[in-house]
Amino acid sequence: MTAPKEEGERVVLALRDKFNPMRRFRWSPDAPPGLNDLEWAEELGAKWEGDELVTYDYPTFIDLLEYYEDDQYLPDND
Task: Give yes or no for residue 13 having a pLDDT over 90.
Answer: yes
Domain extents for the chain? 11-69
E strands of 1-78, at which residues?
11-16, 25-27, 47-49, 52-55
Whole-model pTM? 0.76
Q: Percent of the chain at pLDDT above 90? A: 44
Gap between the Cα atoms of 76 and 78, Å rounded: 6
Burial class (CB in 10 A: 0-12, 13-18, 19+), 37: exposed
> Rounded to the nearest 5°, which phi and psi values hold at 12?
-85, 125
Residue 1 has pLDDT above 50, yes or no: no
For residues 32-40, average pLDDT: 88
The residues, ordered by sequence, that sit 6+ positions from 30 with a Cβ below 8 Å of its Cβ are 2, 5, 11, 12, 13, 58
